[in-house]
Amino acid sequence: MKHLIIALFMSMSFVCQAQLPNGSVAPDFTVTDIDGVQHNLNTYMAQGKTVFLDFFNALCSGCWNYHHYESMDKIYGTYGHEGTGELVVLYLDGVSYDNLASITGYSEFTYGDWVGDSRYPIVLDGQGVRGVYQVPSYPHFVKICPNGNGQGVLENLNLSNDPNNYLAYMNSCSAPSTINNHGQLFDSEITLCQTNTGSPEFKFRNLGDDAVTSAVVNLYEDGVEVAEFNYSGSINKWDDEVFVFNNVNLNFQSNYTAKVTSINGVAAHNEGIVTSDLSVLDASIVALDEVIVQVTTGYDGSQAFWDLKDASGSLLSSGGPFNDFPFGTTPSFQDQPDVIVPLTANTCYEFTMRATDEFPWTGQNQMAIEDTTVRRYILKNPDQSILHKAKKYPVFVGSETVYFRTYENASVDKIIINENDFTLYPNPSQDLVTLTSSVEGCFEYNITDLSGRIVKSDALVCTKESKAIDFNTSDWKSGYYNVNIYVEGELQIVKKLMKL
């Protein structure tokens, strides 16, 4: 249980000194975030901004829970640099052994990807600011108000799952400005199976003070409008709504974006965050005539569930909740009985593995974190070849849905690949790049910058013939990138890509 001991120590992470008392002058500091941007406290104080310091580490379970409440993300979306600009939030990882891999989910010592859904700056601070501010444990939250003399006055506060509590913290410094017609549209993806028609869904969040009673959203294919959605209703501040484009013809080779062109009859306050990308994926995982579901649970088996549906949405089979067992029991996991589900040839299926909490799953023999929530799932064919398993990195939390289809006499044995099986062109590139594969079988790929940060999320590709995969680099910074190609979760090939 070495990992468990580390996780508990880091979640509590007590030090032998008291935190700085409330009302103290906040010590000045300068830090650089993971995007290379510098932040100086007293500069923000001189500008009259309120500053929140949110201390965390990648193995802190309490920090992970607060992170997924999204309350800090909501308050920052309204009053941070994309809103009124009156609030600065610095997300400070305060342990020296965390790195970019651990905060992006590419490590055994993490609860997942802390970066992908964070809109505020993240700092790998080691113990710098944490030491100066004498942070006693994680998570820890400090509010700093300007004192009018270019410095700040600090207050140690509790983290909250309600953004209104953070608004009250801001009000105790100075009341922020009113902002209306302000929202965010989130990126989305849709998986199609044996059809080119789908109904893409986009999550919209109201970040403004006024309720959103109407909105117009347009969907574009390679820059040309192909659909429009008109919303009518009421979305209150910090609430979410799902916008659905029904029955749209989609092309796997095209690039899609959606944009909110009006909120309450006028242009959005910040048009940059109401434009989002749509990824159109092909359900190309190939299954045989039945699927074997293998699930392993930890002490909290009652939190885990799965279900398998056909293309019509009919439930074919399901599992969970499973039994809990006492913490400290050896071994710390339970292999649940295999479930065999018959499949029909030339049919599409949807498998969902989910949990009611926010702890990770894996497809490996060991859990990413050997914690009280050891979880694993693998889908296999009758010949024991692996149909799908949760990726080792990045770990995923909450739920995951996998789409697959059946063919007669299909096989998904592990493939052997080499450098010559993949080409990138044009390379160097300014905008559209094509990754061409000549392999027959399944592989995964993602694209990272040289710091390891993901710029294009993982995608699973299964094919019986050559396949061309297009992606747009026009919004990327100039420099070198790695196209990482995996087979069954293991990195096999890295192709270099240069963005001009």
Amino acid letter, residue 247: N
How big is the CA angle at 478 (ends 185 and 97), to the nearest 5 degrees? 75
pTM equals 0.74
Confidence of residue 3 (pLDDT cuts 50, 70, 90): very low
Q: Which residue has the tokens 């910058």?
A: 449
Mean pLDDT of all residues belonging to the chain: 83
pLDDT given for residue 14 in this prediction: 42
pLDDT given for residue 387 in this prediction: 77
Q: Distance between CA 221 and CA 207 in Å, rounded?
A: 27
Q: Distance between CA 325 and CA 459 in Å, rounded?
A: 36
Confidence of residue 12 (pLDDT cuts 50, 70, 90): very low
Query: Which residues sit opposite 422 in a β-bridge?
Result: 437
Angle, to 10 degrees, between the axis of helix 71-79 and the axis of helix 163-173?
Answer: 50
Greater model confidence, 452 or 137: 137
Residue 139: cis peptide before it, omega within 30 degrees of 0: yes
Q: Distance between CA 276 and CA 53 in Å, rounded?
A: 29
What's the 3-state SS for the chain? CHHHHHHHHHHHCCCCCCCCCCCCECCCCEEECCCCCEEEHHHHHHCCCEEEEEEECCCCHHHHHHHHHCHHHHHHHHHCCCCCCCEEEEEEECCCCCCHHHHECCCCCCCCECCCCCCCCEEECCCHHHHHCCCCCCCEEEEEEECCCCCEEEEEECCCCCHHHHHHHHHHHCCCCCCCCCEEECCEEEEECCCCEECCEEEEEECCCCCEEEEEEEEEECCEEEEEEEEEEEECCCCEEEEECCCEECCCCCCEEEEEEEECCECCCCHHHCEEEEEEEECCEEECCEEEEEEEECCCHHHEEEEEEECCCCEEEEECCCCCCCCCCCCCCEECCCEEEECCCCCEEEEEEEECCCCEECCCCCCCCCCCCCCEEEEECCCCCEEEECCCCCCEECEEEEEEEECCCCCCCCCCCCHHHEEEECCCECCEEEEEECCCEEEEEEEEECCCCEEEEEEEEEECCCEEEEEECCCCCCEEEEEEEEECCEEEEEEEEEEC
- In degrees rounded to 5, what are phi and psi of residue 77? -60, -30
Q: Distance between CA 189 and CA 14 in Å, rounded?
A: 42
Greater model confidence, 254 or 10: 254
Q: Which residue has the tokens 């919303």?
A: 231
Q: What is the pLDDT of residues 152-165, one digit of tens each?
A: 999 999 888 899 99
Q: Distance between CA 301 and CA 374 in Å, rounded?
A: 9
Count of Cβ atoms closer than 10 Å to residue 456 Cβ:
16
pLDDT given for residue 493 in this prediction: 85
Q: What is the pLDDT of residues 174-192, one digit of tens each?
A: 999 999 999 999 999 898 8
Average pLDDT, integer, range 273-279: 94
| Cβ-contact 404, 283 below 8 angstroms | yes
Greater model confidence, 175 or 298: 175
Confidence of residue 11 (pLDDT cuts 50, 70, 90): very low
Cα-trace Rg, the chain: 24
Q: Which two tokens stand for residue 364?
A: 């490996």
Task: Among 8-17, 22-31, 140-149, 237-246, name the one with the lowest average pLDDT.
Answer: 8-17
Residue 21: cis peptide before it, omega within 30 degrees of 0: no
pLDDT given for residue 168 in this prediction: 95
Greater model confidence, 30 or 106: 30
Average pLDDT, integer, range 376-381: 80
Q: What is the pLDDT of residues 96-119, one digit of tens each?
A: 889 888 888 777 678 778 887 788
| Cβ-contact 439, 284 below 8 angstroms | no
C-alpha count within 13 angstroms, C-beta hemisphere, residue 439: 25
Long-range CB contacts for residues 21-24, cutoff 8 Å, separation at least 24? 22/154, 22/155, 22/156, 23/153, 23/154, 23/155, 24/153, 24/154
